[in-house]
Amino acid sequence: MDEHVVVVGAGPAGLAAAWAIRRAGPDPLVVDQADEVAASWRGRHDHLRLNTHRMFSHQPGARIPRRCGSYPARDDYVAYLQEYSAGMRLRLGTRVHTIDRTDGGWTLALEAGSLTAAHAVIATGSDAEPVLPGWPGLASFGGTVIHAGQFRNAAAMAGRDVLVVGPGNSGVDLLGYLAASDAGRLWLSARSGMTVTLRRLPARWQDGTARAVQRLAFGDLSRFGYPRPALGPFTRQLTDGVTIAVDDGFARALKTGRVVMKPGIDRFDGPRVCFTDGTSCAPDIVICATGYRPGIEALAGHLVALDQRGMPPFIGAASSPDHPGLWFFGLDSSIYGNMHVHRGQARQLARAIARRSAG
């Protein structure tokens, strides 16, 4: 074997897994196709801040410095991850194409050559592949259509009418910035609404509490056209992996009319976007805050059956007796904050690898 453990992915999840595994014994090799760690964070928009407090967002073994503030900005968080990775064995600029079983372990096929390892940890993140809906008539639209992950700065939207599609965390976050900018008219297309909650309770109680918290915090947003969620946030998290949205000016913009609600999109008709209620608008830019997939089909889809969201059947510290030494880590999301949950899962993963190695 070239390596005992290879971690694929040098984002927060992969680095957390590598730190915990290294602390438990073997020194893993971290491989990433990007030339720098935390590449997905480096590519996010200029206004981005963590939605979770720094006390709950740190990597295992290293607190985020106080100087970064309560909700660290993108560049501060990237610098923190860069410093966190110091001393780790990194092989950057190296894409792993596929993983296959070999005698006693796994073969990772690279651009040039391959690696073998007793343990392969896939930690490429839940947001590796943007999801863009294929609406009827989209090709006839003369404006610009981008995914939320391609948005960079609100100043670039000055004087331009913008339709944001998707009321989840990304859509609400972007509209908060756009509403305070010089952007033109703003619309939000939503088939169902967001929910905000912070409490740890049984799932059905959490759903009810979340609705009450949202109403207390924002009032009845349905009066302004914002649809009531069909499912509570915790039920929806379990059902389709969608987390809550965190408000930073969106609710105020909705109430003042700066943002106008629209239902789901029916079709595109030239320059106009037509909605399911028969209304339409003519935006210059459509921003699709329509989520992501893990994008691991090519990497491991031939090994395990992925569900409709592209998720593997086992994740975190869980494994399968049919695939000893193959692990999927950090592909899931949590209402309580991904980093907060993955911190504990990283230690569990390290212990599981150590036990299997000892056995």
Considering only residues 142 and 195, tell me which one the structure prediction assigns the higher pLDDT.
142
Q: What angle do CA 56, 336, 214 make, to 5 degrees?
A: 120
Query: Do 273 and 194 lie in a common domain?
Result: yes
Calculate the average pLDDT of the chain: 86
C-alpha distances in angstroms, 291 versus 15, 79, 305? 23, 26, 21
Q: Which helix (H) or strand (E) holds 146?
A: strand 144-147
Query: Do 281 and 156 lie in a common domain?
Result: yes
Range of the structural domain that residue 245 is part of: 132-288
Task: Lay out the sheet containing 265-269: strands in order across.
Answer: 265-269, 272-275, 280-281
d(CA 51, CA 71): 7
Average pLDDT over residues 219-238: 52
Q: Which of 271, 288, 305 is the last residue of a domain?
A: 288
pTM: 0.83
Query: Do 188 and 271 lie in a common domain?
Result: yes
Beta pairing class for 3-8 and 29-31: parallel
Considering only residues 280 and 225, tell me which one the structure prediction assigns the higher pLDDT.
280
Q: Which residues sit opposite 273 in a β-bridge? A: 268, 281
| pLDDT > 90: percent of the chain | 65
The confidence score (pLDDT) of residue 193 equals: 56
Q: Which residues sit opposite 23 in a β-bridge? A: none
CB-CB contact of 199 with 321 (8 Å): no
Query: Do 83 and 157 lie in a common domain?
Result: no
Sole residue written with tokens 């900005």:
73
Q: Tell me: the pLDDT tens digits for 100-124? A: 999 889 999 998 899 999 999 999 9
Query: Do 60 and 199 lie in a common domain?
Result: no
Query: Do 136 and 122 lie in a common domain?
Result: no
Check whether 312 has a pLDDT greater than 70: yes
Q: What is the CATH number of the domain that holds 352?
A: 3.50.50.60
C-alpha distances in angstroms, 301 versus 23, 56, 305? 30, 32, 6
Query: Do 22 and 121 lie in a common domain?
Result: yes
The confidence score (pLDDT) of residue 162 equals: 98
Domain count, the chain: 2
Q: Tell me: the pLDDT tens digits for 332-349? A: 877 666 888 899 999 999
Query: Do 80 and 194 lie in a common domain?
Result: no
Q: Which helix (H) or strand (E) holds 20?
A: helix 12-24
d(CA 282, CA 143): 9
C-alpha distances in angstroms, 103 versus 100, 113, 354? 10, 18, 19
Q: Tell me: the pLDDT tens digits for 37-71? A: 999 999 998 988 887 889 889 999 999 999 999 98
C-alpha distances in angstroms, 97 versus 223, 277, 299? 50, 44, 6
Check whether 233 has a pLDDT greater than 70: no
Q: Which of 50, 74, 69 is nearest to 248 (CA)?
A: 50
Check whether 206 has a pLDDT greater than 70: no
